[in-house]
Amino acid sequence: MKRLIGRSYCDPTVEKSKKFWNFKLEPNDDENPVVRVEYLGNQLTVRPEDVSAAVLEKMIEVAEKALGKKPTKAVITVPAYFNQAQKQATLDAAKKAGLEVPELITEPAAAAYAFTFDKNRLSGNYDLLVYDFGGGTFDVVVMTVDNGNVKIKAIGGDTHLGGRDIDDKLADLIAQKIYDEVGVDLRDVDENDSKDVRRSKAKLMKTVEGVKITLSDEFETNVYLGEIFNDLEDEDEMTIKRSELEKSCEDIFVKTIELTKRTLSDANMSPNDIKEVLLVGGSTRIPRVQKLLGDLFPNITLNQTIDADEAVAYGAAIRAAQIDGIIRAEISLTEATPLSLGIEVSEGRFSPLIERNSSVPVKVTRTYCTPENDSESVSFQIFEGQRPIADYNNHLGCLTLRDIEPGEAGSQTMELTLSLDKNGILSVFVEYKGRTEHMTIDYAEVRKSCARSVEQIISDAERYAGSDEQENKRRKRRSDLDEMQKKIEYRIDRIDLTHSEKIEMQKKCDEVREWYKQNEKASLIDTEMQIESLRKKCEKLL
């Protein structure tokens, strides 16, 4: 459910993964994904949050048997690249399960917490990289450890890249072999296939995980077809080699290395700056993964001192015990935000207030002014993302300030604050002349708008950096022209001018205003010419 929670049904990554799941996925009325299940003969639909809540309820039950009392609080871990909607959906699932969440921490940070908990690693100052290649997601985090204080410097990853993708590739490989040798097609199974075919595909997916694990220790292994098809004998088998797995999954392995390099770059560091590389997640046991990492960090012995499958849970348990006062570990954790948060400004541009990789908790306040003459209200459109054009980022909501005193554009000021709490959850409010307005984020609407994943936003920001920069410059100068024209027009009747000067300047303002409306896609050069022409004509008012 980690790949579904907080996402919209229209998310491309959801569409991409549907064919590999042996359950039926469909959209609800809000265009959010729901899973169709059969329970006691009845057809039901459940949200990813409902499934996560059910898992948490089961964990509460198990913990209660071990502790002798029912736990009511839990530190919960999430992928480092979860966006606002995904984090909130996780908290909603916990609330439904009856859990209070004192802290929501990222998985690699939890692993680092467990690593640092060792007394021998509390002292000194060093840079640590956590390479977390789990079942459903990949996270890479660069952090500084300073005498037990763990501070994240840069976050990278992909919430749709993990061991499950290796399973899918391996399943495709085996399915092709089955088709070639037996003639049964399990390559593209969907809900329209027969129950027997779907059941065989489910058995295949169960088999491939064992094959993957075995190939981490052996150079080849056998797949017994009788475990997949009821009408075949157990002795019917085929051989799968480690080299075949590596060839099929090389693009996945290389992608994790590229993401690691990018995260190092975000931290303004090189591989030589890193003292420790901590391996977390079951997929880090794959020899090819370790070989590629060894090539990237040739001077470091990859650290596997903590069980790769348990490191995250261990770190979360340590943090929970610390919060509850059970232990007094001299360690602290400072997380970072994976995306910038800010507002839409003139001409649809994105203006960040909280920058990506900022330490959390964090609060940023900025002063804004009225954009129009005699503005009665001002609306702040809130976004998360990395691209300079607001619409290419995730829209989180709108905060409107009303009953503003009249005056020239820019004469009335207000203070907008964006803050992230220790869980990385956003709150927004604006203050004006002694009163405060708060924004409530409707995450159902955020998901309905097909919010982009963190990795998609980061990838697109890099891919379109050049064209985005040019478009941002063009829009900025259009904004400058519009602001100049409004300022001049407001001042025409308020500054001592001759009658003819007023007429000429008003005529020029009318011309510029009309040109501005009719030429939304005008080039930067044409806009600069309009600015210069307006400046020359109305210099007395500037």
pLDDT score of 198 more than 80: no
* pLDDT at residue 93 in the model: 95
* CA distances for 199 relative to 41, 202, 219, angstroms: 19, 5, 29
266 and 171 together in one domain: yes
Task: Indicate if 454 and 470 belong to the same structural domain.
Answer: no
Percent of the chain with pLDDT over 70: 96
Residues 352-407 have pLDDT tens digits of 999 999 999 999 999 999 988 888 999 999 999 999 999 999 999 999 999 999 98
124 vs 248 pLDDT, higher one:
248
Give the torsion through C-alpha atoms of 380, 381, 382, 386, to 10 deg: -120
Question: Are 214 and 304 contained in the same domain?
Answer: yes
Residue 352: CATH number of its domain: 2.60.34.10
* Whether residue 235 sits in one domain with residue 131: yes
Task: Judge if 23 and 41 occupy the same domain.
Answer: yes
Mean pLDDT of the chain: 90
CA distance 338 to 488: 42
Q: Which of 258-267, 362-371, 448-457 is predicted with the least confidence, judged by mean pLDDT?
A: 448-457
The tens digit of pLDDT for each residue in 27-63 reads: 888 788 888 887 788 888 899 999 999 999 999 999 9
Kindly state whether residues 277 and 154 are assigned to the same domain: yes
Indicate the number of domains in the chain.
Answer: 4
- Say yes or no: 203 and 293 in one domain: yes
Would you say residue 320 lies in a domain? no
The whole-number average pLDDT for the span 512-522 is 95
Q: Are residues 456 and 485 in the same domain?
A: no
pLDDT at 188 over 90: no
pLDDT at 356: 96
The answer to whether residue 434 is domain-embedded is: yes
Residue 494 confidence (pLDDT) above 90: no
Lowest mean pLDDT among 133-137, 282-286, 356-360, 467-471: 133-137
pLDDT higher than 80, residue 197? no
Cα gap 144→537, rounded to integer Å: 57
**Pair 191, 264 in one domain:** yes
Looking at the structure, tell me whether residues 144 and 75 fall in a common domain: no
Q: What is the pTM of this model?
A: 0.84
Q: What is the pLDDT of residue 191?
A: 66
**Domain membership flag for residue 55:** yes
Residue 387 near residue 454 (C-beta atoms within 8 A): no
Mind giving me the DSSP string for 385-431?
Answer: ES-SBGGGSEEEEEEEE--PPP-STTSSEEEEEEEE-TT--EEEEEE
Question: Residue 348 domain-assigned?
Answer: yes
Residue 181 lies in a domain: yes
Boundary-marking domain end, from 438, 463, 488 = 463
Residue 507 included in any domain: yes
What does the pLDDT read at residue 189?
Answer: 67
Regarding predicted confidence, which is higher, 31 or 168?
168
Which residue range is the domain that position 430 belongs to? 340-463
CB-based contacts of 344, cutoff 8 Å, min separation 6: 350, 351, 380, 381, 383, 390
- CATH no. for residue 484? 1.20.1270
Residue 18 lies in a domain: yes
Burial group, residue 264, by CB count within 10 angstroms (0-12, 13-18, 19+): buried
Domain end position, chosen among 463, 498, 520: 463
Q: What is the CATH number of the domain that holds 193?
A: 3.30.420.40
Decide: 135 and 205 in contact? Cβ < 8 Å.
Answer: no
Same domain, 156 and 20: no
**Mean pLDDT value of segment 209-232:** 87
Place of tokens 């009788």: 226
Q: What local confidence, expressed as pLDDT, does residue 130 receive?
A: 96
At 70 the three-state DSSP class reads coil
Compute the distance between CA of residue 519 and CA of residue 84 in angstroms, rounded to an integer: 36
> Predicted confidence band at 185 (pLDDT cuts at 50, 70, 90)?
confident
What's the confidence (pLDDT) of residue 51?
Answer: 92
Q: Which of these ranges, 115-124, 131-140, 148-157, 419-428, has the smallest mean pLDDT?
A: 115-124
CA-nearest of 36, 125, 114 to 75 is 114
Cβ contacts of residue 468 below 8 Å, gap of 6+?
A: 387, 388, 389, 392, 461
Residues 119 and 231 placed together within one structural domain of the fold:
yes
Tell me the pLDDT band of 432, cut-offs 50, 70 and 90: very high
Last residue of a domain, one of 336, 371, 400: 336
User: Residue 272 has what pLDDT?
Assistant: 96
What does the pLDDT read at residue 231? 66
CB atoms within 10 A of CB 402: 10
In a domain, 223, yes or no: yes
